[in-house]
Amino acid sequence: MQTIFFKNQPRIVSSGTIAGPKECAGVVGKFVDKGLTDDMFGESTYEKAECKMLAFAITQAIKNAELTEKEIDLLISGDLLNQIISASFAARDFDFPFLGVYGACSTMAESMAIAAAFVNAGYHKRIVAATGSHFSSAERQYRYPLELGCTRPPQSQWTVTGAGGVVIADKSECDSTVAITAATIGKVVDFGITDVNNMGAAMAPFMGIIEP
């Protein structure tokens, strides 16, 4: 069965968000907890900045839920780098168990689905689900160095500089009315897209109108 339903309806209590300067220049800027003017976030490398953003999002989500770190049972998070290193390193700062996940662009949805399943089953009361990415670290990992004078096609997409986290809790633990009622787990489909710049076409294919 591809879609699972959560009978106990786990609640989304709060969120914590942070975004880079390019993201904040648009509509998103008004809604984030913290907008960065410096995409290094005061760190010496982009990877460290990504890690710090993720840690910020987790802390902020807990703070917005008016909880303390002691009350969190589990952290589920991931990122785009090798060995999900940002998520693992961000988890060092917290004194609760950590479950690392990788789903590229779907990491946030994946971590929320897993968190909801854990809470629904009653194993945990409060879980933080989070993810983060950084444009510059992703470019280095998947494409070309930043200073390389190559052209980007107009349809190319940008990896977000930012991080987000949510606290998911049992309905008895909070008065939030936002519930996760179901999750649909996607299949891996390969439609033969090989363009590294066109991430959307590869990762979120629209199947509706294509004739086989």
Partner 1 sequence: MTGKNRENYNKNYIAYVNSFDPPTQHFKNCYRAFLVGGFICCIGQFLRYIFEGAFGLSGDELSGAVSVVLIFLGTLLTGLGVYDRIGKNAGAGSIVPITGFANSVASPAIEFKTEGLVYGMAAKMFIVAGPIIVYGVLAGTLVGLIYLFL
User: Which residues of this protein are in contact with partner 1, per CB under 8 A?
Assistant: 44-47, 140, 144-155, 190-193, 198, 201, 205, 209-212
Name which of 175 and 211 has its Cβ closer to partner 1. Answer: 211
Cα–Cα distance list, 25 to 7, 20, 186, 210 (Å): 40, 9, 32, 36
Name which of 107 and 136 has its Cβ closer to partner 1. Answer: 136
% helix / strand / coil in the chain, to the nearest 5? 35, 20, 45
Name which of 114 and 138 has its Cβ closer to partner 1. Answer: 138
Name which of 63 and 143 has its Cβ closer to partner 1. Answer: 143
Residues in Cβ contact with 183 at an 8 Å cutoff, skipping those fewer than 6 apart: 3, 4, 6, 109, 112, 113, 116, 117
CB of 207 to partner 1, least distance (A): 8
CB of 37 to partner 1, least distance (A): 18
CB of 147 to partner 1, least distance (A): 4
Q: Which helix (H) or strand (E) element contains residue 133?
A: strand 126-133
CB of 210 to partner 1, least distance (A): 5
Residues in Cβ contact with 154 at an 8 Å cutoff, skipping those fewer than 6 apart: none
State the residue for tokens 């839920």. 65
CB of 125 to partner 1, least distance (A): 40
CA-to-CA distance for 162 and 59, rounded, in angstroms?
14
- 8 A C-beta contact, residue 9 and residue 179: yes
CA-to-CA distance for 208 and 122, rounded, in angstroms?
38
Extract the runs of DSSP E, i.e. beta strands, from 21-161: 34-35, 74-78, 98-100, 126-133
Name which of 92 and 152 has its Cβ closer to partner 1. Answer: 152
| Identity of the amino acid at 145 | P
Name which of 172 and 206 has its Cβ closer to partner 1. Answer: 206
CB of 92 to partner 1, least distance (A): 19
